[in-house]
Amino acid sequence: MSAIEPLLRPFALRGLDLPNRVVMAPMTRYRSPAGVPTGEVASYYARRAATGLGLILTEGVALPHYAAADHPDIPRIDGVEVLQGWRKVIDAVHAAGGRIVPQLWHQGPMWNVEYAGTGTGNPMRPSGIWGPADGVISFRPEGREASLAPVPPMTDSDIADVIAAYALAARNAVALGTDGIAIHGAHGYLIDTFLWDYTNRRDDRWGGDPMRRAAFGAEVVRAIRAEIGEARPIVLRFSQFKMQNYQALLADTPDALGALLGPLADAGVDLFDASQRYFDTPTFEGSSLNLAGWAKKLTGKASMTVGGVALDKARGNAKHIDDSQQSVNNLPLLVERFERGEFDLVAVGRAILNDPAWFTKAVAGEPFLPFDPASLERLT
What does the domain layout of the chain look like in residue ranges? 5-377
Predicted pLDDT at 128: 75
Instruction: Check 189, 198, 246, 278 and give the catalytic one.
Output: 189
pTM for this one? 0.91
CB 222 within 8 A of CB 168: no
The kind and range of the H/E element at 160 are helix 156-175
Taking the chain (380 residues) in runs of 10, the rounded mean pLDDT of each run is: 91 98 96 97 97 98 89 94 98 98 92 57 75 44 45 89 98 98 96 93 95 98 98 98 88 98 98 96 97 98 95 48 51 96 96 90 84 56
pLDDT at 321: 37
Burial 261-299 (b: 16+ CB within 10 A, else e): bbbbbebbbbbbbbbbebbbeebbeeeebbbbbbbbbbb
The yes-or-no answer on residue 189 being catalytic is: yes
Instruction: For residues 362 and 355, give the distance between their C-alpha atoms in angstroms, rounded to a whole number.
Output: 11
pLDDT at residue 134, rounded to an integer: 43
Determine the pLDDT at residue 112: 66
CA angle, corner 83, sides to 79 and 85, nearest 5? 125
Specify the 3-state DSSP secondary structure of 89.
helix
User: For the chain, percent helix, then strand, then coil, each to nearest 5?
Assistant: 35, 15, 50
CATH 3.40.50.11540 fits 5-377, yes or no: no
